[in-house]
Amino acid sequence: MATDLLLYGAKGSPFVRKVEVLLAEKGLAFEIEAVMPFPAPEWFVAINPAKRIPVLRDRSVGTEGAAGTIPDSSAICAYLERKHPSPVLYPHDAYGYGRAIWYEEYADSELAQRIGLGIFRPTVLNRLFGREPDLETARKTLTEALPPQFDYLEGEVGERDFLLGQALSIADISIASQFVNLEYAGGRIDAQRWPRLSAYIAKLHARPSFAACIATERKIFPPAEPLV
């Protein structure tokens, strides 16, 4: 089925996944075109000088060059929410909206730095590129750098199903997207130490939007041996 929405990116990126899940939750058809950012092809740099994935092209706006394109997962998700407001994935009230943006930024910076740079890249990406996995760095990150983040999220989740209100939001999508990469690298949330966080992530990953994405990615990232 023809669609106006084309997503440039690579499977395994938590930022590409974040957009894919949001698109699925909104029931929007899209195509994905594989683009590896290291090194990024020249045509991609021309539409996103930051050289990072993903980039969305809305072909109803433009089909050539930078016309119709939006780089950055957060900008893409905000655009899609404005253009396709149902179901609502950003709270309407000012405080809820601000908290949602905070959680998204927290996921994209604090969690991404630790899970992506500290665990996923030294293990999974090293293996993909034919290098020895740096298990020492990954284990140190999991046992020293991530527990304070897990403590924070355990408190934020509390007894709720979702971080904000009674419905899924961009906050949940952003947080859960990062944890997929932790699992691909063999990292686990200790369910005895962080029971609420563990149950929260498991429930989100079981949603059809996440489950379909993960099932496709598993063809590239098979189950890994536990890090600890």
Q: What is the pLDDT of residues 52-82, one digit of tens each?
A: 999 999 999 999 999 999 999 999 999 999 9
pLDDT tens by residue, 166-184: 999 999 999 999 999 999 9
Q: What is the DSSP string of 125-168?
A: IHHHTT----HHHHHHIIIIISHHHHHHHHHHHTT-SSSSTTS-
Q: What is the pLDDT of residue 227?
A: 96
- For position 37, what pLDDT does the model report? 87
| More confident site: 156 or 2 | 156
The predicted model gives 27-39 an average pLDDT of: 94
Task: Go through the domains of the chain in sequence order and give each one's CATH number.
Answer: 5-83 (3.40.30.10), 94-217 (1.20.1050.10)
Mean pLDDT score across all residues of the chain = 97
- pLDDT for position 2: 81
99: confidence class by pLDDT, cuts 50, 70, 90:
very high
| pLDDT number for residue 182 | 98
Structure confidence at residue 165 (pLDDT):
86
> Nearest to residue 225, comparing CAs of 178, 176, 188?
188
Report the half-sphere exposure of 109 (CA within 13 A, side-chain side).
7
State how far the alpha carbon of 14 is from the alpha carbons of 61, 62, 67, 119, 159, in Å.
26, 26, 25, 13, 26
Phi and psi at 49, nearest 5°, equal -65, -15
pLDDT at residue 121 above 70? yes
* Burial (Cβ within 10 Å: 0-12, 13-18, ≥19) of residue 131: exposed
